[in-house]
Amino acid sequence: MIGGRRPIQGRKPADRRVRVERPHSAYFRYSGPGQLVAKPAASTPRTGLDRTVQRWKAWLLGRPLASEEEIGERLPKKLALPIFSSDAISSSAYATDEILRVLVLAGSAALFISIDVAIAIAVLLTVVSLSYRQVCRAYPSGGGAYVVARENLSQTAGLIAAAALFIDYMMTVAVSTASAVSQAYSVWPQLYDIRIEIAIVSIALITVANLRGLREAGNIFAMPTYLFVGMALLMIGLGLSHIIGGTVPQLPDPAEVIKPPQTLEPLVGITGLILLLRAFAGGAVALTGVEAIANGVPAFKPPESKNAGNTMTMMAILLGILFVGITFVGNRFGIQPTTEAGPTAIAQVSSSVFGAGSPLFVLFQISTALILFLAVNTSFNAFPRLAAILAEDGFMPRQFSLRGDRLAFSWGIVVLAVVAALLLVAFQGDVHLLIPLYSVGVFVCFTLSQVGMVRHWISSKESGWQWRMVVNGLGAVLTFVVLIVVASIKFAAGAYLVIILIPTLVMLMMFIQRQYQASAKALAVRPDFVVRPPAREERAIVTVPTINRAVVRAVNVARSIADDVIAVYISDNPEASRELRERWERQIPGVQLVIVESPYRALAGPLMAYLDVLDRAWPPDKPEPVTFVVVPEYVALHWWERILYNQSSRRLRAVLLGRPHTVVVDVPYRRDDPDRFHYDNEPHADPGGPEPASSEPPANES
């Protein structure tokens, strides 16, 4: 665009040049022929309110990131370990409690079996983590159990796995937060009364951290995870040295200790086996979160699969050492399970090893509370990714696949936070009430993904497929057995809710997909169809509330759309109709005005009926015309003024939206538009001069 600029004289008389304006350059950049890339300025809010909102959003969440910055958001292993493993590692903080609470039913002496139960769970952990290492290798695009089950078993199996994972992630947030708060009131009992408030604030903080983006979330979460791992290893080491040296401290049992029942359950026969299985099912919560790495493989730096697999191994080793170590030291120190208000098993171990109230004890409890708070983050990473994959497959609303300003899947993050907060409130932040709902979903997806992997190796026959299939097959059998045990033993305690929820979620996802498929079918254009210019006639109907600038603009827009223009005035006042017709014929000649008297004061009904009448009057041998209903709209300057206007326009739009062969055209007229208003018959008139209805909004707007 030259923009009327005159040539600039150079140093020599003949050397002249013209600077060409580049109006697109502030907002766009050409990246190829006919292809523009928007710059940040193109997304700048245009109103004061939007600008204020954006400033606050940028302060809270950080500056928006461009899509190409995503690769910079990929995680190195040292950040991925705390992000994806904090859930699994942190479950070592409460898994021991869950074993002890069951075993105590057989008397204090039965607590010594806890180490055997822990070792059995560690074996299961080894098999499951080896199996998931294979998933990382085979499915570098992530998705975990959902993708594996979908690709190798069936779509329904995939959806069952996805529903189970959703429940698992929601429960992780609720359970870990509740458990973190319980660690805090193990040290400061006065916090018990405000546990729900603390939990909700912590979920809000983690939500904000995640909305800021992956890398920043990793930076926030790395330190507490490593602090917990370091302190827990130190505690186990010191505990072992006390055990070996025969210097195990004798501490009094806490006041809240759970006393064995009067009638002890025997540890032999079927009853004993069931008790052991219950203890095993309780401790199996230690495995929750193991699958998160397999779900988040694309978040790793390249080579993604290898890095994810190595992180998985590192996580399993750490979790195994911590869980078995804490249980063993607790076992030898004679730790007793306590009620909800009492100190946790890990708090008792640290109190014995570091000394009650010592700085190391307080630091360890803080690090335990922190990692439990941050364990929630594993779900905040995995849930939105899974929801995005499902949304791309059409099983979730499409919003879940859209990235926010910081490249995070904002919808998934916010939905997860809200549901988890509601769960915490509903269960009053009680870990032991929440846990029965927890592990069933986890083992459903473990089993489905392992079975899926067995099918994968059989069909792909990659190198070493036989031993890989054996690993996954063993994982499938073991996790299925644990699933049956967990589901049957925890059924009455709340697992039945999960068993109802999984099919409900599956049906909901199938319903969403059917809706999307139906709309896609309705909107589809055959690939061989060549679009030709329209052959149908067009007509424009302008809804007229009075004569004002907005109406004049709408009439002119209608004239530019079609030759056949009719203005329709719906009135309940014959006197006003007469006055309008007189004025219309004088001021807007050439455009037919139809007045529809509406004695019952209805607006939308008579207009629709009039449109129907026009359609019926159309010659049957001609194709139906496209009817453009042109609605003048007065746009007030401020958002708070807008509530006063355009209620009728909105109503009309809503009614007309589904009408066949009808297009609704909104013609906005801003209050600061008068300079652009053209008096067609007075080309030299002062555009800012008086005009009878210059600032009058549509009359029937209320």
**Looking at 22-30, 461-469, 537-545, 589-597, which segment touches other proteins (CB under 8 A)?**
22-30
Of 6 and 684, the one with the shorter C-beta distance to other proteins is 6
Residues facing 338 on adjacent strands = 257
Q: Give the DSSP per-residue string, 290-336.
A: TTHHHHTGGGBPSSHHHHHHHHHHHHHHHHHHHHHHHHHHHHHTT--
Q: Give the DSSP per-residue string, 503-540.
A: HHHHHHHHHHHHHHHHHHHHH---TTPPP----S-EEE
Q: Hey, what are 393's tokens?
A: 């497959």
Of 36 and 204, the one with the shorter C-beta distance to other proteins is 36
Q: Hey, what are 89's tokens?
A: 């590692």
With binding defined as CB under 8 A, does residue 574 bind other proteins? no
Given a contact cutoff of 8 angstroms between Cβ atoms, the answer to whether 407 and 214 are in contact is yes
Least separation in angstroms between CB 18 and other proteins? 4
With binding defined as CB under 8 A, does residue 21 bind other proteins? yes
Reported as type and span, the H/E element at residue 101 is: helix 95-103
Of 7 and 249, the one with the shorter C-beta distance to other proteins is 7
**Looking at 29-37, 416-424, 556-564, 588-596, which segment touches other proteins (CB under 8 A)?**
29-37
Least separation in angstroms between CB 33 and other proteins? 6
With binding defined as CB under 8 A, does residue 29 bind other proteins? yes
With binding defined as CB under 8 A, does residue 2 bind other proteins? yes
Calpha distance 239→352 (Å, rounded): 8
> What are the φ and ψ backbone dihedral angles of 520, each rounded to 5 degrees?
-65, -40
Question: How many other CB atoms are found less than 10 A from the CB of residue 461?
Answer: 9
C-alpha closest to that of 471 among 485, 451, 486, 487: 451
Least separation in angstroms between CB 465 and other proteins? 44
With binding defined as CB under 8 A, does residue 11 bind other proteins? yes
Of 69 and 197, the one with the shorter C-beta distance to other proteins is 69
Of 29 and 670, the one with the shorter C-beta distance to other proteins is 29
- What residue type is 587 in one-letter code? Q
**Looking at 16-24, 208-216, 331-339, 693-701, which segment touches other proteins (CB under 8 A)?**
16-24
Calpha distance 163→168 (Å, rounded): 9
Of 23 and 533, the one with the shorter C-beta distance to other proteins is 23
Decide: helix, strand or coil at residue 629: strand
Calpha distance 89→317 (Å, rounded): 10
Given a contact cutoff of 8 angstroms between Cβ atoms, the answer to whether 409 and 403 are in contact is yes
**Looking at 17-25, 501-509, 589-597, 646-654, which segment touches other proteins (CB under 8 A)?**
17-25
Residue 71: HSE in the Cβ half-sphere, 13 Å Cα cutoff: 3
Given a contact cutoff of 8 angstroms between Cβ atoms, the answer to whether 443 and 479 are in contact is yes
With binding defined as CB under 8 A, does residue 63 bind other proteins? no
234 exposed, middle or buried (CB, 10 Å; 0-12, 13-18, 19+)? middle
With binding defined as CB under 8 A, does residue 123 bind other proteins? no
Contact with other proteins (CB under 8 A) among 13, 14, 59, 534 = 14
> What are the φ and ψ backbone dihedral angles of 439, each rounded to 5 degrees?
-75, -15
**Looking at 7-15, 140-148, 232-240, 292-300, which segment touches other proteins (CB under 8 A)?**
7-15
**Looking at 32-40, 103-111, 508-516, 692-700, which segment touches other proteins (CB under 8 A)?**
32-40
Contact with other proteins (CB under 8 A) among 13, 16, 401, 425 = 16
Of 29 and 651, the one with the shorter C-beta distance to other proteins is 29
Q: Hey, what are 171's tokens?
A: 């429960």
With binding defined as CB under 8 A, does residue 24 bind other proteins? yes
Calpha distance 232→238 (Å, rounded): 10
- Count of residues that interact with other proteins, criterion CB under 8 A: 26
- Identify residues 33-52 at the interface with other proteins (CB under 8 A): 33-34
**Looking at 2-10, 103-111, 458-466, 683-691, which segment touches other proteins (CB under 8 A)?**
2-10
**Looking at 6-14, 78-86, 634-642, 679-687, which segment touches other proteins (CB under 8 A)?**
6-14
Calpha distance 378→83 (Å, rounded): 6
**Looking at 15-23, 55-63, 71-79, 671-679, which segment touches other proteins (CB under 8 A)?**
15-23
Find the DSSP H helices in 395-525. 410-426, 431-434, 439-460, 465-489, 496-523
Least separation in angstroms between CB 17 and other proteins? 4
**Looking at 30-38, 430-438, 478-486, 657-665, which segment touches other proteins (CB under 8 A)?**
30-38
523 exposed, middle or buried (CB, 10 Å; 0-12, 13-18, 19+)? exposed
Residue 315: HSE in the Cβ half-sphere, 13 Å Cα cutoff: 38
With binding defined as CB under 8 A, does residue 12 bind other proteins? yes
With binding defined as CB under 8 A, does residue 67 bind other proteins? no
What distance lies between CA 237 and its chain's CA centroid?
41
- Identify residues 636-655 at the interface with other proteins (CB under 8 A): none
Least separation in angstroms between CB 30 and other proteins? 4
Calpha distance 536→623 (Å, rounded): 6
With binding defined as CB under 8 A, does residue 13 bind other proteins? no
With binding defined as CB under 8 A, does residue 17 bind other proteins? yes
Least separation in angstroms between CB 527 and other proteins? 29
With binding defined as CB under 8 A, does residue 25 bind other proteins? yes
Calpha distance 210→217 (Å, rounded): 6
With binding defined as CB under 8 A, does residue 71 bind other proteins? no
Of 31 and 681, the one with the shorter C-beta distance to other proteins is 31
- Identify residues 192-251 at the interface with other proteins (CB under 8 A): none
Of 17 and 616, the one with the shorter C-beta distance to other proteins is 17
Residues that bind other proteins (CB under 8 A): 1-2, 5-8, 10-12, 14-22, 24-25, 29-34
